Amino acid sequence: MKVTLKVWRQKNATSAGEFKTYSSPELNENMSFLEMLDVINEDLAIKGEEPIAFDHDCREGICGTCSLVIDGKPHGPHKGVATCQTYMRSFKNGDEIVIEPWRAKAFPIIKDLVCDRKAFDRIQHAGGFISVRTGAAPDANSIPVPKEDADLAMDAAQCIGCGACVAACKNASAMLFVAAKVSHLGLMPQGQPERYKRVKAMVDQMDAEGFGSCTITGSCEAVCPKEISLDFIARMNRDYAVALFKGEPKKTAGGGAG
Amino acid sequence: MATLNSNIPAGPLASKWEKHKFSSKLINPANKRKYKVIVVGAGLAGASASATLAELGYEVHNFVFHDSPRRAHSVAAQGGINAAKNYQNDGDSVHRLFYDTIKGGDYRARESNVHRLAEVSVNIIDQCAAQGVPFAREYGGLLDNRSFGGAQVSRTFYARGQTGQQLLLGAYSALNKMIGAGAVKSHTHSEMLDLVVVDGHAKGIIVRNLQTGEIARHSADAVVLATGGYGNVYNLSTYARGSNVTASWRAYKRGATFANPCYTQIHPTCIPVSGDYQSKLTLMSESLRNDGRIWVPKRKEDCGKNPADIAEGDRDYYLERMYSAFGNLAPRDVASRAAKYVCDEGRGVGETGLGVYLDFAESIKRLGESKVRERYGNLFSMYHEITNEDAYKTPMRIYPAVHYTMGGLWVDYNLMSNIPGLFVLGEANFSDHGANRLGASALMQGLSDGYFVLPATISTYLATVKAGQRPATDKAEFKEAEDNVSGFIKRVTSGNGKRSPDSFLKELGKVMWDHCGMARTADGLQKGIQLIGSLREEYRTNLKVLGDIDGWNQSIEKAGRVADFIELGELMCRDALMREESCGGHFREEYQYTAADPEVQQGIVNAGDVKRRDDQFAFVAAWEYAGAADKAPILNKEDLKYEEVKMSTRSYK
């Protein structure tokens, strides 16, 4: 099979970008989408044209590095499948495929199809953890966790941090990502002491990064390669409301005896 | 010659670690913050070490080439993590985990390190559970376990088929806490390209910012490498495409010895290769062997048939037949070699004939499809995405693929390399898995090194260094290292060659697989060395790297990594050639059991099993760089002295 690609090319964050058209050499339908791009890039390299920059690493749908909006849809045509696990058998001979980067104010473009997702990390620095010093943990079985809670927490914890939810949202909101993190930790008994402080800190950082507001259209859930449920957003909103009612924790007097 | 002092503490094996911790030097809290430690890598080992060192009060700088410290390939580990908790009451203990690991490694690991690993394993599970890692639970709320290869107890903790991801996110969360607190400075999109050695001690690194192309110098009181394994030297592997040997290799070229480079793990259950465009092989977790049965047709003529049409009596469940005590849970090296044998006999299945069946029909009948789906659902859907086949209806086809490297930079008991101040953790070091790693032990080792071992041992070195005395980055050694890095980049970008770095890696990978893969011979290895030599020469003259030096340029990144892989490939062949024995994953065809051997006649091993030569090769081969890529490296040996376990013939029958 052969396809035509319309690919977003952009030299760096400050320069203007444009679509460029490339025709593929003969492809095999069992190639992954990224292997198809490898073939195109090898072809470009031989011709002396600079290869298309795109982000990828594990190529098994778990590291969250790959991105790409394919024909208008983050991660391409299939539900619950990341770009790296999309195969050319999902396309037809002669198709024109449009490939763009994630587009969001909080994810500035670095080059071509690569964008900067460090905003996600900064949200995590603000509260995406349970504070437990190494070596200070009790025996693992001393804190039983109901299987249903552990399973639901795992559903949320599967998030691979790719940012497709942001790319799909008309407001470039990061609510599904933050909700997944908040819910995973908030569902575990170990996460209770910091539950409300955490949600407040993470949502505040999310706002500071320039992500948009959520209007619950559900486009995030539709493109999530791990099919993280919109229900987690409701759960986070509940926790956030409680956090607001609770207000800032009362400052205790410092110091102590001795 | 390098000086290799393993620094194994004296005394009985079971009390060495406790004793060592007590006798280690401490640094008082007020002084700790005056020491700066560089950690390269943020997989399980790097993230856990960075977070823990920062908790202790050191000034930590963490470097990753990824955009985020959450993407390292630890994230892809599927099956689980071992720990000697004995929650199943099935006879597990620290000693049994230690023994299984030593035996699994075919008696080529360092005994004291492995015992420490088994001791620490129980703390890891506690730590991760406290961080909120959503491990699989039983209905009573307690932790669930499953079995993995090379063990007859259930000691593997897991989080569906995404255990590595969840453990990494746990370590990443610990790191986030310390970054948020300002105790760790995180440098992302920053690739280490050289090690700076001042007066014989590791005192800094040279880093290229992948976003801007800027090259920067960083000095520290100690440097920690947690940069993973080097299986991508085979091009096709289960590694992430970005995984590389560069950090370790540059340290090797600065004097760190590289131990047992030929010890490679070929994992038995991967999706077979389908075409020459392929960039990556996908693992199907070993955990599937808990419930899946591996077979091929008894007769060659049946190989092309639909598996459903092959009668039960015409199937050869060869692992169950050859290794009845462990059956489908035979260790990885054994299971891979058995798959190779049956395919070499012409009984392989699938288009290429390089495949065997992994069949779930019996478990689905026994447990019901929903139970199988609950246990392995994500693996079945991954298999479906790649092959377009439904493994609930027809057996999976699998074949061995490169998955892990047991070799790595040589370290002593403190995880310090032979360069003082340079520490190496996780897959990047060599010490714990010998010649074959057991399933679910990589996660254990990464976290053991990062959370518990290094934080306790690094002070022994730092206490010998005066606080606040680290060299400034304008010292000549830093300039020389920076010039080395920028010189390479200028050279490759100004070349007039024709070939891309990727095309060279593809060629190298094929040479490595053919000549230094699952079965090795002296002739084949010599041929490999020769082919790699000419490839190295062509790389120097015929490489084309497009694009600018300043700014994002993936071709520049690859150019350096492939150059290092080519040199490493040659060293691996040399190591495999020197090691005239078979052990674990290192199989030299010249050294195998045959029907004439008493061990085969007594039923201890099968003909074709690996044959060690303890009288001559019970040592760690630590290779030392001789100053130029075309000069033969120098072999240093660390003798493996076993105090507790007797080196014996490894039997899984």
- Residue A256 within any structural domain of the chain: no
- The pLDDT tens digits for B561-584 are 999 999 999 999 999 999 999 999
Give percent helix, percent strand, percent coil of chain A, each to the nearest 5.
Answer: 40, 10, 50
Distances (CA, A) of A93 to A26, A32, B74, B180, B536: 10, 15, 37, 50, 39
Angstrom distance (rounded) from CA B396 to CA B272: 10
Q: What is the DSSP string of A14-25?
A: SS--EEEEEE--
Read off the pLDDT of residues B119-130 as tens digits, 9 standing for 90 and up.
999 999 999 999
Task: Name the residue of chain B whose CA is nearest to A63's CA.
Answer: B71
Interface test with A, best of B50, B71, B145, B352 (most A CBs within 10 A): B71
How far is residue B500's CA from residue B488's CA, in Å, rounded to a whole number? 16
| A147 and A83 housed in the same domain | no
User: Which residue is it, tokens 């009596």?
Assistant: B313
Question: What pLDDT, in 10s, does the model give residues A114-168?
Answer: 999 999 999 999 999 999 999 999 999 999 999 999 999 999 999 999 999 999 9
With an 8 Å Cβ cutoff, is A208 touching chain B? no
The secondary element (H helix, E strand) that includes residue B557 is helix B554-578
Instruction: Say what percent of chain B tops pLDDT 90.
Output: 93
Please report, for the domain that includes residue A161, its CATH number.
1.10.1060.10
Q: Are residues A229 and A162 in the same domain?
A: yes
pLDDT digits (tens, 9 = 90+) for B266-324: 999 999 998 889 999 999 988 899 899 999 999 999 999 999 999 999 999 999 999 99
Q: Same domain for A94 and A179?
A: no
Task: Provide CB contacts within 8 A for A85, sequence distance 6+.
Answer: A32, A59, A60, A61, A225, B382, B385, B386
Nearest to B126 among A56, A138, A191 (CB): A138
- Structure token digits, residue B331: 């260790």
Do A233 and A150 share a domain, yes or no?
A: yes
* Mean of pLDDT values over B438-464: 97
Residue A35 belongs to some domain of the structure:
yes
What does the domain layout of chain B look like in residue ranges? 267-403
If asked whether residues A162 and A123 sit together in one domain, one would say yes
Of B131, B455, B552, the CB nearest to A130: B131
Distance of CA B122 to the CA centre of its chain: 21
Pairwise CA distance, residues B566 & B503, whole Å? 12
Round the average pLDDT of chain B to a whole number and report it. Answer: 96
pLDDT digits (tens, 9 = 90+) for B502-533: 999 999 999 999 999 999 999 999 999 999 99
- The answer on A96 and A62 residing in a single domain is yes
- Average pLDDT estimate for A179-196: 98
Min distance A148 CA to chain B CA atoms (Å): 8
Measured between CA atoms, the residue of chain A closest to residue B66 is A65
Q: Would residue A254 count as lying in a domain?
A: no
Answer whether A218's CB lies under 8 Å from A79's CB: no
pTM, to two decimals: 0.97
Q: Which residue of A has its CA nearest to B158?
A: A154
- What pLDDT is recorded for position B621? 98
- Report which of B21, B15, B81, B151 is spatially closest to residue B445, judged by C-alpha positions: B81
Between CA B318 and CA B204 the distance in angstroms is: 52
Q: Which of B127, B141, B279 sits opposite A137 (nearest CB)?
A: B127
**CATH number of domain containing A23:** 3.10.20.30
Given B332, B561, B588, B650, the catalytic residue: B332
Q: Are residues A96 and A31 in the same domain?
A: yes
| pLDDT at residue A255 is higher than 80 | no
Assign domain B267-403 one CATH number from 2.10.10.90, 1.20.1240.10, 3.90.700.10, 3.40.50.300. 3.90.700.10
Residues 175-194 of A with CB under 8 A from B: 184-185, 188, 190-191
Give me the half-sphere count of Cα atoms (radius 13 Å) on the Cβ side of residue B269. Answer: 28
pLDDT tops 70 at residue B161: yes
Q: How far is CA B313 from the centre of its chain?
A: 39
Q: Given this model, what pLDDT does residue B512 score?
A: 98
Q: How many domains does chain A have?
A: 2
Do residue A227 and residue A122 come from a single domain? yes
Q: Any catalytic annotation for residue B332? A: yes
Nearest-Cα distance to chain A for B352, in Å, is 15
Range list of H helices, B388-475: 442-447, 454-462
Q: Going by DSSP bridges, is the β-strand pair A109-111/A114-115 parallel, antiparallel, or unpaired?
A: antiparallel
Beta carbons of B241 and A136 less than 8 Å apart = no
Three-class SS state of B322: helix
> Is the distance from CB of B246 to CB of A61 less than 8 angstroms?
no
Q: What would the pLDDT profile of B217-226 be if each residue is shown by its tens digit?
A: 999 999 999 9
A209 and A232 together in one domain: yes
Q: What is the pLDDT of residue A257?
A: 61
Range of the domain at A200: 118-133+142-246
Which strand (E) or helix (H) includes residue B202? strand B201-209
Report d(CA B594, CA B583) in Å as an integer: 15
Least confident of A76-90, B77-91, B375-389: B375-389
